[in-house]
Amino acid sequence: MKKMSKVVTIRIITALMLVSLTLVGSDCEDFINQINQEPCTGGDITGTWTYIYNSGTTLDICPGEVVSFPNNSGGTATLTCPNQSAINRNYTVSGQTLTYTDTSIEYQVCFDGSGNLVLRGINTDRVLYYSSSISETTDSQSGSNGKNVSNNNSSEIEK
């Protein structure tokens, strides 16, 4: 009889642990989602922006990309990677969504506390940060210090 009670006790403890893990796991997921969904402050994208870094999972943008948006509602953006020819891409802005119409790449337009333009990929795994105050970058600043770097710009998806 004593042996039977130990088995039952172990089963009860195991069942309670499994039930508690499902509850704790869902709380962790909610917490992680709150961290990843920082508040998005909209603003005017008009001007010239220099790519700083990408915190997304798709790391295929050329270091030092410069993007010029002529106005806040749409038009033709000029994207230039260092030592490459500039390309022009038509774009539209609707609410906080920037869409490159030629490639259908979409970003949520946000600004961080430092005034940097943050483009959060809607249909791509990119979170791109741009600054309007960087005037010149060197190879070590742009991340191309002897490593293989991409020639893609933010209006494209690597194939």
Could you list the pLDDT tens digit for every one of the 159 residues in the chain? 556 688 888 888 888 887 777 766 655 655 555 455 567 788 899 999 999 998 887 777 888 999 999 999 999 999 999 999 999 999 999 999 999 999 999 999 999 888 899 999 999 889 999 999 654 444 433 444 444 445 566 666 655
Phi, psi of 17 (to 5 degrees): -65, -45
The per-residue pLDDT for 70 is 96
The first and second tokens of residue 89, run together, are 């891409």
CB distance 81 to 67 below 8 Å: no
Task: Look at residues 123, 144, 145 and name the one whose alpha carbon lies nearest to residue 51.
Answer: 144
Q: Between the CA of residue 91 and those of 8, 65, 106, what are the distances in Å?
A: 66, 17, 10
Q: Would you kindly state where each structural domain of the chain is located, as residue ranges?
A: 1-37, 47-142
- For domain 47-142, is the CATH number 3.30.1370? no
